[in-house]
Amino acid sequence: MDSNTLLGVKNLKKHYEIAQGMFKPNIIVRAVDDISFSVNRGETFALVGESGCGKSTTGKTILRLTEPTAGEITFNGEHVEKLPYRRLRALRKRMQMVFQDPYASLDPKKTIKQILMEPLRVHKQFAEKERLQKIITMLEIIGMSEAYLNRYPHEFSGGQRQRIGIARAVILQPDFIIADEPVSALDVSVQSQVINLMLDLQKEFGLTYLFISHDLSVIEHMTDRVAVMYLGKIVEVAKTEDLFEAPKHPYTKALISAVPISHPAEKKDRIVLTGDVPSPVDPPKGCAFHTRCPYALEICRNNVPEQTIFDNGHTVNCHLFNNKEEENYATIHSH
């Protein structure tokens, strides 16, 4: 493993078995189905895809909030999937999570002081009298004051609650934060404030982020590399600027074509995908995207595409790119 790699995910699977009753076989939901990627120290790596593609399950499985079905998760070289609970708990001090819903993720019966004190107590950080000072400093960093210490979550706006959620994750000075749709429940007007706070904290504390979102405008603004997920699989990985300038996978092209344009002079042809996202209970054979792909070939119906790696590290899983010499390659670039 590269020494710059903080998180490594290899062939990770998370399947759920659902009982159907006495005489019927159980259903297997392939929420995450054999994905691999790595996150470098100090970068912001995005997982993007439509709702239900497995990106949130990936985040929870990495932290073992839900146990993986198969595969490897390494953090700083340590195998997370094999750790006994006591050591996993210690590791969680270094790997934190920020949740989507700032209304649900803060205990309504606890004051802000109690909410921020809890992780320090659980992980036995600092002497008792130093903890309060640490909390006050953290509140200042997130743009709030000591006067808020004894208030309850319902007394705050959505943006302020998410700031508190972020403070709770950062107060332990972790190396790595998984942020699962951290701004999607917020008004557009406060989204950029929370994103800028996350970027400032990244600089100040040297944080590495795994940023999970369905919102490509946010991803373009704040991430370094992106993995695109579709039905539990990763279909494309690239540096953010490469992905937005020259997306390769037909699914990525469609997602990017739907991002609202920022300048009236810009022109963009929108690719409208037909059909619903198939169910992960019974994903299509071959390339799982073939039922909605405007470029689908005969081979796509039965054969799972291999990964093609380009010189700049950009990877794509699509038959159109499996052999660069084929005329298919030229075909997709002409669209």
User: Measured from the CB atom, is 185 or 296 closer to ligand SF4?
Assistant: 296
DSSP state of 225: E
Near ligand SF4 by CB under 6 A, which window of 164-172, 190-198, 238-246, 286-294? 286-294
C-beta of 144 vs 254, nearer to ligand SF4: 254
Q: Which stretch binds ligand SF4 (CB under 6 A): 123-131, 139-147, 206-214, 289-297?
A: 289-297
Give the three-state DSSP class for 9: strand
Q: Does 244 bind ligand SF4 (CB under 6 A)?
A: no
CA angle (306, 32, 166) in 5-degree steps: 120
The yes or no reply on residue 247 touching ligand SF4 (CB under 6 A) is no
CA angle 12, 16, 17 (to 5 degrees): 135
Among 159, 199, 188, 182, residue whose Cα is nearest residue 59: 182
Q: Is residue 253 within the footprint of ligand SF4 (CB under 6 A)?
A: no
State both tokens at 214: 């369905």
- Please tell me whether residue 297 binds ligand SF4 under the rule CB under 6 A: yes
Tell me the DSSP string of 189-223. Answer: HHHHHHHHHHHHHHHHHT-EEEEEES-HHHHHHH-
- Does residue 305 belong to the site contacting ligand SF4 (CB under 6 A)? yes
The correct pick among 296, 307, 310, 329 for binding ligand SF4 (CB under 6 A) is 296
* Interaction between residue 271 and ligand SF4 (CB under 6 A): no
Q: Residue 11 in 3-state DSSP?
A: strand
**Residue from 12, 138, 256, 287 that binds ligand SF4 (CB under 6 A)?**
287
Q: Which of 48, 300, 314, 315 binds ligand SF4 (CB under 6 A)?
A: 300
